[in-house]
Amino acid sequence: MTSKLCKIAALFLLTLCVAVSSASAQDKIRLLIIDGQNNHNWKATTPVLVKIFESAGIFTVDVATTPESGQDVSKFNVDFSKYDVVVMNYNGDRWNPELEKAFVDFIVNGGGLLSYHAGNNAFTSWHAYNEMIGLGGWGGRNKDSGPYLYLDSEGKVVIDPVQDGPSGDHGPQWAFPIDVRAPEHPIMKGLPLRFRHCKDELYQYQRGPAHNVTVLATAFAEPSQRGSNRNEPQILTVPYGKGRCVTNMLGHDAEQLSSVDTIVLLQRCAEWAATGNVTLEVPADFPGEDEPVFRDLNK
């Protein structure tokens, strides 16, 4: 081959490669993590979340970081039209009204929300956000925020609008088992009905509007671990307009984000919130009932 032909061939191949890679990027789910304020270590968890979502192979991941607490958040803006799903690693100041309206419009028109751990501690006074997360905790929430929702010993959903009491609580961290309550839901399909989560906070006494909630997974809050003696929701979904919202309360810090069940559930929750479907397979290293399993995300 002449050198000119070689150059033409190389250029052709390069063009082909660029076309192929941009096509696959176009096919991916566009995911945005929002962080910047949190009573949790978002600076440690966001980079791990990025790895978790990128390693699934089906997401493109961006991060939007607000100004720090006490600084002017009003200029924080996001173009939600560029995304299919928003992951909330945020528990901080209210956004500007235009951005909050844009976020509600994004969900109403079919966008996805994944509230990660303390994401459901945020925005106590933002009515629409609380409808989306279904149940929240802390942040001054009380009986006026909505009822408790838990499962009784027979697995029946109890919604208790009468009882007064705390909103948001957890005992010491322990490695609790998680019970699948909606085994046919795309997020849970194929998972063992009970699996061992890592040492983590077990959120309990969450309260909120609790409208249209589907509980996907619970954990029994053992009284010996300062628990409520209830099956407490850990993962739930709420439809909002055409949008799909998932509240996943697991994963206190980076350590918990190396637990295989945390990783897999976050990936599956995000895919479902974005598309209403889950194509990700359950990996062979998913934990059974007895022991948590960890994965080195740097490998």
For residue 53, the minimal CB distance to Zn ion (Å) is: 20
For residue 118, the minimal CB distance to Zn ion (Å) is: 6
For residue 249, the minimal CB distance to Zn ion (Å) is: 9
Cβ nearer to Zn ion, comparing 35 with 201: 201
- Cβ count near 220 (within 10 Å): 19
Which of 61-71 are b and which e, b meaning 16 or more Cβ less than 10 Å from the residue's Cβ? bebbbbeeeee
Distance CA 54, CA 160 (A): 40
For residue 291, the minimal CB distance to Zn ion (Å) is: 22
Q: Are 212 and 239 in contact (CB under 8 A)?
A: yes
Of 181, 207, 230, 252, the residue at the interface with Zn ion (CB under 5 A) is 252
**CA nearest to 187, candidates 216, 151, 210, 211:** 216
Distance CA 247, CA 231 (A): 16
Cβ nearer to Zn ion, comparing 84 with 169: 169
- Cβ count near 58 (within 10 Å): 17
For residue 98, the minimal CB distance to Zn ion (Å) is: 30
- Position of minimal CB gap to Zn ion: 252
Distance CA 264, CA 190 (A): 12
The 120-159 site mask, x for binding Zn ion (CB under 5 A), equals ----------------------------------------
Cβ nearer to Zn ion, comparing 56 with 235: 235
DSSP state of 276: S
Cβ nearer to Zn ion, comparing 141 with 252: 252
The 191-230 site mask, x for binding Zn ion (CB under 5 A), equals ----------x-----------------------------
Place of tokens 């991916």: 28
The 47-76 site mask, x for binding Zn ion (CB under 5 A), equals ------------------------------
Segment contacting Zn ion (CB under 5 A): 21-29, 175-183, 248-256, 289-297? 248-256
For residue 236, the minimal CB distance to Zn ion (Å) is: 17
Distance CA 217, CA 41 (A): 25
For residue 293, the minimal CB distance to Zn ion (Å) is: 21
Cβ nearer to Zn ion, comparing 119 with 287: 119
Q: In Å, how far are 38, 147, 199, 246, 275 from 252, measured between CA atoms?
A: 11, 24, 9, 17, 26
Q: Are 282 and 191 in contact (CB under 8 A)?
A: yes
Cβ nearer to Zn ion, comparing 118 with 213: 118
Size, binding site for Zn ion by CB under 5 A: 2
Main-chain dihedrals φ then ψ at residue 235, nearest 5 degrees:
-135, 130
Give the binding site for Zn ion (CB under 5 A).
201, 252
